[in-house]
Amino acid sequence: MPFLLDIWHAVQTVVMASDWITLAIMVVVALGAGFLMHNMTSLVTTTFVALIAFGLAGYVRAITIGKQNPSAFATTDWQAFLNLPMRQFLPYVLVFLVAIAVAHALRAATVGRD
């Protein structure tokens, strides 16, 4: 099963190669999505909404902290997303899926409802 090893290495690359601000944004978005999710049946939908929120937060970060031109960066960012290979997209989906599921499970265990 070498494809599982490829996916695992890609997930490690996402986590280990990101800077601290990006990781903090990922954690905040995943925790927020996990706490706001109603039940586990909406995990896939919540994951993709969280990925959109993560992308928008990265755009806002580039505009505010990175002092990028908003219009030019939006075009560049969109083209980068359209050219994103599945091998890079899948690890982000898996990281967010697991983080949101864990956050929701913690909320359900502490609050006592699903």
Query: So what's the pLDDT on residue 28?
Result: 96
Share of the chain above pLDDT 70, in %: 97
Share of the chain above pLDDT 90, in %: 45
**Over the stretch 43-96, which tens digit does the pLDDT of each residue have?**
999 999 999 999 999 899 989 988 888 888 888 888 888 898 888 889 999 999
| Separation between Cα atoms, residue 108 and residue 114, nearest integer Å | 5
| Separation between Cα atoms, residue 27 and residue 44, nearest integer Å | 17
Q: What are phi and psi of 28, to 5 degrees?
A: -65, -45
Q: Which residue has the higher pLDDT, 4 or 95?
A: 95
| Separation between Cα atoms, residue 114 and residue 34, nearest integer Å | 11
User: What integer best gives the mean pLDDT of the chain?
Assistant: 89
| Separation between Cα atoms, residue 77 and residue 59, nearest integer Å | 8
- Contact predicate 93/21, CB 8 Å: no
What b/e string do you get for 71-88 counting C-beta neighbours within 10 Å, with b at 16 or more?
eeeeeebeeeeeeeeeee
